[in-house]
């Protein structure tokens, strides 16, 4: 069991008549670009955490494969407790972007500062999320942050230009050096 869990698999025991007959290990496949996405987020000074219902050994094995340190993994979290975990991280003064793909993630997606549903998600997750990424590529999370930052930068730039323009043009129009229509 320990060997399977260290390999990132969940161990399931097979029994017959109360006697253990075997062990099966199953695992979700790690998305192809997960490690790259984690690296990219960290390069942009974004802390990456994992909240999972998997046991500690399995969670840490998966975390190791994608570049998430043990201290940043919360394991054995029941689906109904994921939103509490997000809330506790936010109560520490962090803005949390929760990325999830299923019904179990919906409450956490709803409570996060930004909820992001990724891939072929359930309708419940789509409704709970602020952002829905249509592809199942973790690098799209990085791209969405980049687009959001660029949009925010453009908004700020437009506000500065509008403030500057109005600060200059309205006084010129009020003293008659510029037609009011042009100032407007």
CA distance 174 to 53: 66
Q: What is the pLDDT of residue 141?
A: 94
Q: Is the pLDDT of residue 113 over 90?
A: yes
For 147-182, the pLDDT digits (tens) are 999 999 999 999 999 999 888 888 888 888 888 787
CA distance 43 to 24: 38
Distances (CA, A) of 66 to 40, 126, 170: 11, 25, 56
- Angle subtended at Cα 152 by Cα 151 and Cα 153, rounded to the nearest 5 degrees: 90
CA distance 117 to 108: 11
For 32-53, the pLDDT digits (tens) are 899 999 999 999 999 999 999 8
Q: What is the pLDDT of residue 74?
A: 94
Q: Which residue has the higher pLDDT, 36 or 27?
A: 36
| Both tokens assigned to 52 | 């999972």
The average pLDDT across 52-64 equals 90
Round the average pLDDT of the chain to a whole number and report it: 90
Q: What is the DSSP code (8-state) at residue 92? A: T
Q: Cβ neighbours of residue 26 under 8 Å, at least 6 residues apart? A: 9, 10, 12
């Amino acid at each position: 069991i320990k060997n399977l869990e260290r390999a990132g698999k969940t161990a399931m025991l097979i029994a017959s008549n109360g006697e253990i007959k075997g062990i099966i290990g199953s695992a979700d496949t790690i998305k192809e670009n997960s490690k790259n996405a984690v690296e990219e987020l960290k390069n942009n000074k974004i802390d990456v955490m994992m909240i999972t219902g998997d046991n500690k050994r399995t969670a840490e094995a998966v975390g190791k494969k994608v570049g998430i340190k043990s201290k940043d993994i919360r394991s054995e979290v029941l689906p109904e407790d994921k939103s509490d975990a997000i809330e506790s991280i936010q109560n520490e003064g962090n803005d949390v972007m929760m990325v999830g793909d299923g019904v179990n993630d919906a409450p956490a997606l709803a409570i996060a500062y930004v909820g992001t549903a990724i891939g072929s998600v359930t309708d419940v997750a789509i409704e709970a999320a602020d952002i829905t990424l249509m592809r199942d590529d973790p690098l799209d999370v990085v791209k969405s942050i980049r687009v959001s930052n660029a949009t925010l930068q453009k908004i700020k730039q437009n506000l500065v230009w509008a403030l500057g323009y109005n600060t200059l043009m309205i006084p010129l129009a009020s003293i008659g050096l510029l037609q009011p229509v042009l100032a407007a």
